[in-house]
Structure 1
Amino acid sequence: MPELKYLIVVLAGILFWMFNRIINPPKTEFAARDFLEQGKLSAKADRIISKSIVHQLMYPLYSRLQQIRPTSKSHYDDIQDQLIKAGEYDSRPEDVQIAQLTNAVLYPLFFMVIGLIIGGDKQHIITFAGVAAGLYMYRAPLSNLKAKQKKQDEQLLAEFTRFTTVYLMQVSGNLTPDEALKKAISNSSSRAKALSYYLNKFDSDIETKGTTRALHELGKTMEKSYVDRFVNNVQLAIKHAGSDQTTLNLRLRESLTEMSEQVVDEKINRLKVEARIPVFVSVGMIAVYMTVIIGSSFVMLM
């Protein structure tokens, strides 16, 4: 029937749109947005609004599965840690898990529908391919986070280098290390997209825990060797406040130079890796993906 054939095409388009919505949802549509708004937790804890349609459809199933088998605290914390390292500060582990659940349901369902329509001996093969695709794509949201972490690390290194430069400029203006840190945070936090999360936490820790403790927490949170060097130098500067800081500032400048060289080296290495990947491989992967996901629905029109 011609009507059925057109219905298959429409269904394929809708499913493809749903897939893209869950993989690349607008930032304003993350579930975490509702729960982060102060004073609205109780009103929004039992309903999901202002999210993508797929998110709304999958949330009841996700909630039910959590009741049957809740996510362990260690796994939840691990996803949260990966989100922070990837720069997804507005997201929560629930967002990642719903994306995983959607992939696990969407791919087998889509392939199963296509298999039922095509029928014949190919039905079981197509259904099996859908299950395999669902299992593979279940890991996709976590794999995407790991890919983002590499770019985030480069961005953090570049922005922390600028932050260190600002700090040195402030210290050179005869400010104490504590005053220089506050000035550097104030001047850098609004311009550092990746580092602002850590700088804002660092600023809050200075006020509540003191500078020495806040520096220790900064090094522990970021877990970067260049941050440890910065922390050690500033702690020594605080310890020897009032004395000649020339040697300490020189050591920090040397660290700054090393950080700048590291930024350049990492970008060069990344570009070398990307340059080794032929363009036709990427085009071929896209062609295979489009053929598997949508192409089968047009077979009935031929």
Structure 2
Amino acid sequence: MSDVNYKAAYERQKKARALAEELLENRSRELYEANQSLQYAYNKLKNQKAQILHQEKLASIGQLSAGVAHEINNPAGYVKSNLNTLKGYSQDLVNFYSAVNELFSSYCASLPGGICSAESQKLIAQFEELKGVHDIKFLLADIADIVDESHDGIKRIEGIVRGLKDFSRPDEPEPQTVNLVSCLENTIKLVSNQVKHKLNITFEHEGQLFIKGQQGSLSQVFLNLIVNASHAVADDGHLKIKANSAEGFAMLHFIDDGCGMDTQTQLKVFEPFFTTKAQGVGTGLGLSISHGIIKKHGGLISVSSELGQGTEFIIQLPLDV
């Protein structure tokens, strides 16, 4: 075989090798891209499964909350009724005590010459002693205070029951067209005096966003998120609220630079009575009620956070198109 033939054969082998390497490289790239797509799809399905499980958990808690609310409401109702009766009775006792006091005070004055007999004076002295021993004046006044405080406690229980009902089955009138941008602006104005010394709020939006729903309930959600942000941040904290549309949905972002939350807290944050606040500061119902309201509007609310890195709540609501 001549050198020319050897050279031609070598060139053919070289081209074949290059073509094989190119095909192998293309195939490897295709496999890599297919693997990335599968990995992305797997992660998406995994996240969706977690969200579905979380939604089912919240739905179960909602059913439980409705039952608990009903069971609390009945005894709270007759306790409230009894307190109203007790308040009337206590007022009758106060009136009786005042009348007896007046009777004893005016008894001697009504006698000829204003002089009481020894027996009458002894009876009056015994009455005054008994009042002092049993501290009747204080008891009557304290009964009124106790009744009033108990009324406040019942009102608080009623508020909790309403919250549980709102979480499980919000009772609202027929939906109306709501401008989310105006609703947010009004809510920010409403709460500004309450948080102005601690929280700086900025609001960015891309045009007007209209949905079907109840403006009052949505304002309650926005108010809860703003107040929660004020509790999470240090002095002079920041909350950025962004509103935009994406694929037929209104997207609302509440982003603060507060203390953030760990993973376990994020999993429980929408559950009734769960709170990280100090005792007496909150009932732990704000976010659970908000979840119920957003769900009733056909939307989703989620949270993303890291300890020390702030928190973002994302609300997704279907646009009225």
TM-score range, shorter chain: under 0.3
Greater fraction strand: 2
| TM-score relative to the length of structure 2 | 0.22
Greater fraction helix: 1
| TM-score relative to the length of structure 1 | 0.23
